[in-house]
Amino acid sequence: MAKKKIDNLNTITYVLELLNPTKKKQQLFLKNIDEVVKSRRAIAKELDNDNKKLSTADFPYINLPSAVKNQDIREVKALHRRFKKSNSKKETLEFKSNQPICYNNQNYKIDEHIISIPIFANKRSRCAFPVKQNARFEKLQSHIENGAKLGKASLFYKGNKWFFAVTVSFEVEKTKNNNTMGIDIGLRQLAVASIKTSEGKEINRKFQSGNHAGFIRKKYNALRRRLGKAKKQKAIENIYNKEQRWLIDLNHKISRQLIDLAVREKVSCDTLRFEKNCLS
């Protein structure tokens, strides 16, 4: 069979939901997240002091597997470079308490619906946990079976649920259409779409502001805190579900707008490129 020339690379991130981790595992995850926060703040401080040649040996007091420390160093260095270029009025990078635990593709394993990651308990060990087998997971499995390359991944929690985000890259055939769309996903700007010709000339750019989404998140977070103090767990779950429905609707609208833009600018679906930092 003749081989087709393939020179395009697509990257997709799948966010998988964990199947109700035990309290013991959740406590372990939370302890590692606390250490990740300490790690990233310590790395940023060293970079502020112009100490750029960093390794895990520089942070012996951080109780994390070396693989996680190394990934933190890479991620924070990238963020620090962007921070310096931004001319921010802030003195240094800031990291909130709910940070994801990030891994490169050599540090986690996916076997059927079981994911294994390095974690720190009393010493370095590995932790295995199942994820929900839904349509999203099936798509990820299909990509893996078809030779997709695993990329960075992260473990995080949101709305009292735990998730594992996995990035995969796969090659697709180059189409006759030479226009490409790059989409940068973030928080302040939910999506920035840039259309370029094959010569690299930008012909269109569209911003999707995250201001309103940020306002909605703060509104629901404040409401959940009040309900938490009143110990109204059922109401908290209802509020979380309502927020998720709103976010799903927002994502659908943004996706529809980006697809419409791609169609207008004659961009093929196999020339879309997504970029998202692990710590975003």
User: Which residues are within 8 A (CB) of 183 and not within 5 positions of it... i.e. 6 or more apart?
Assistant: 191, 192, 193, 194, 258, 272, 273, 274, 275
- Residue-level pLDDT at 173: 59
Helix axes 211-229, 233-264, angle to 10 degrees: 170
- pLDDT above 60 (res 147): yes
| 130 band by pLDDT with thresholds 50, 70 and 90 | very high
The span from the CA of 194 to the CA of 180, in Å, is 8
The b-or-e profile of 237-276 (16+ CB within 10 A means b, else e) is eebbeebeeeeeebeeebeeebeebbeebebbeebbeeee
The span from the CA of 55 to the CA of 4, in Å, is 42
- Residue-level pLDDT at 280: 42
Domains in the chain, CATH or no CATH each: 1-174 (no CATH), 178-280 (3.30.420)
| 5 band by pLDDT with thresholds 50, 70 and 90 | very low
The span from the CA of 144 to the CA of 166, in Å, is 11
Average pLDDT, the chain: 82
- Residue-level pLDDT at 205: 80
| 8 band by pLDDT with thresholds 50, 70 and 90 | low
- pLDDT above 50 (res 3): no
The span from the CA of 11 to the CA of 148, in Å, is 9
- pLDDT above 70 (res 93): yes
| 40 band by pLDDT with thresholds 50, 70 and 90 | very high
- Residue-level pLDDT at 241: 83
Q: What is the CB-side half-sphere exposure of residue 273 using CA atoms within 13 A? A: 12
- Residue-level pLDDT at 4: 33
Mean pLDDT of the 249-272 span = 73
Q: What pTM does this model have?
A: 0.62
